[in-house]
Amino acid sequence: MKDVHMPNDVELITIPGNWNFDYRYFAGETASRFFAELKNSRRIMGTRCGKCRRLLVPARTFCEACYVETVSWEPVGEEGTLEVFTIVAAAFPGMPPPPFVIGYVTLDGADTSIANFIKGVDLSDIHAAGKSLLSRPRVRTVFSAEVQGRITDFHFELI
Ligand SMILES: [Zn+2]
The backbone torsions φ and ψ at residue 138, rounded to the nearest 5 degrees and listed phi first, read -80, 145
C-alpha of residue 53 to centroid of ligand 1, in Å: 6
pLDDT, position 1:
55
Using the mean position of ligand 1's atoms as its centre, give its distance from the Cα of residue 157 in Å: 30
The string of pLDDT tens digits covering residues 43-63 is: 999 999 999 999 999 999 999
Contact 75, 59 (CB under 8 A): no
60 Cα to the center of ligand 1, angstroms: 11
128 has pLDDT over 70? yes
d(CA 74, CA 117): 23
What is the residue-averaged pLDDT of the chain?
95
